[in-house]
Amino acid sequence: MSTLLAPRPTKTPASGARSRLARLVPSSRYTSVIVTFVLLVLMFGVGSGRYRGFFSGQVVMNLFIDNAFLIVLAVGMTFVILTGGIDLSVGAVVALSTMIAASLLRDGWNPAAVIVVVLLATTGLGLLVGLVIHYFDIQPFIATLAAMFLARGLCYVISLDSISITEPFFVGLAQARIPLAPRLSITPTVIIAVLVVIVAFIVLHYTRTGRTVYAIGNGGQSAHLMGLPVSRTKILVYAISGLCSGIAGILFTLYTLSGYSLTAVGMELDAIAAVVIGGTLLTGGSGFVLGSLLGVLVLGIIQTMISFEGTLSSWWTKIVIGSLLLLFIILQRVLTARER
C-alpha cells in the first residue's frame, strides 16, 4: 500500500531539457557520417568560392566518374571492417584483374567471358583468404598481406609490361557517356558503382547476412549465442571483398584501357581511409556503406581542389587525407568513449 501511495517523482525543468536535448543529439553511430557529409558540403562550398568553374553539376559527376572503382572497392572493404577485420589485398587484386582482363582480351577472348573469369578468380581468391582466416585462426592482417603478395606476384607472371586494350566493346564502353541534362553526363561505370552501393545497402540493412555482419563486429560470442551463422559470414565477407575488388578492377580497366602490374599500388589504403572517414569503426560493429560512399567523395574532392589549385604537388592529397584520417579516428575514439 505504501508503494501505491508513494508520490511520483517530479520532472524538473532541467531534466526535461536534458531529455529533449538527448533526443535532438544524434547517436554516435550517425555522428561520424553526418560530420563527413557536412565536411563534403563545406569543401565543395570552399572550392566553389575559390575556383572559377568549380560550382557545376559536371564537377560533382566527375567525382563519381573518376572514383567509380574506388567506390566499389570501399563497399567491399566496409563489409570486412564491419566484422572487425581488414583486407590489405584489394589493391593488388585490382591490378591482377586488369592484367587478366587485358591479357585475355589481347588473346581474342569474348569480353563477357573475360569479365566472368575475372570475377570468378577474384571472388575465389577472397573466399580462399576467408577460409584460411577461419580454419587456421590467422589474423586477417597476415592472411590478406600474404594474398596481396600472391596477387601482385601473379601480375608479374602474366606480364612485366603494360598491356593496352583495343577490344572494340571495352573501348566503346570506356568512351560511352550517358547524358543527364545539357552539359551534364556520366559514364556506365558510375551506374555500375551506384548499383553495387544499392545492393550492399540492402544486404547490410535488410538481410540476415547483414545483421550477422554487424553482430560479429559487436562481439562474435553474442552472435553465436543468437544462433547466427558467424563462421559462414566471416568467410563470406572476404569473398564479397574479392568480388568487389574484381568489379573495381574491371571499372579501373575501363578507366585506363590497360593492364599494368604496378597499378593500384596503395589503393587498399585509399579504400580503408574512405571507409574510416565515412564513419565505420575500425573495431567493427558500426558503420554504413553510404558513409563509405561519402568518404570516397571526400577523397575525390580533395584531389579535385588540388588539381584546380594547379600550384600544389599531388603529394598534398596524401597529406590532407592522412590528416583527415587521424581526425576521424580521434573522433571515433571520443564518440565510443562517450557512449560507454
Q: What integer pLDDT is reported at residue 25 of this predicted model?
A: 42
36 closest CA partner among 270, 336, 320, 280: 280
User: Following DSSP, what letter does each residue of 281-308 receive, concatenated?
Assistant: -TTSS---HHHHHHHHHHHHHHHHHHHH
Q: What integer pLDDT is reported at residue 53 of this predicted model?
A: 81
Q: What percent of the chain has pLDDT over 70?
A: 88
Q: Is the pLDDT of residue 136 over 70?
A: yes
Retrieve residue 165's grid coordinates.
586494350
Q: Is the pLDDT of residue 295 over 50?
A: yes
How much is the average pLDDT of 212-223? 82
What is the residue-averaged pLDDT of the chain? Answer: 87
Q: State residue 279 phi and psi, 5-degree precision.
A: 105, 5
**What are the start-end ranges of the E strands in 21-120?**
none
196-214 confidence digits (pLDDT tens): 999 999 999 999 999 999 9
- Put simply, whether the predicted model's pTM sits higher than 0.75 gets the answer yes
Q: CA–CA separation, 71 vs 289, rounded Å?
A: 10
Q: CA–CA separation, 320 vs 326, rounded Å?
A: 10
Cβ–Cβ under 8 Å, residues 279 and 20: no
State the greatest distance between any 2 C-alpha atoms of the chain, in Å, as a whole number.
90
Q: What integer pLDDT is reported at residue 339 of this predicted model?
A: 59
Instruction: Look up residue 27 and give its DSSP letter.
Output: P
Cβ–Cβ under 8 Å, residues 275 and 83: no
Highest mean pLDDT among 156-160, 279-283, 330-334: 156-160
Q: Is the pLDDT of residue 151 over 70?
A: yes
Instruction: Look up residue 185 and give its DSSP letter.
Output: E
How much is the average pLDDT of 108-122? 96
Domains, the chain:
31-339 (1.10.3470)
Q: What integer pLDDT is reported at residue 5 of this predicted model?
A: 45
Cβ–Cβ under 8 Å, residues 287 and 204: no
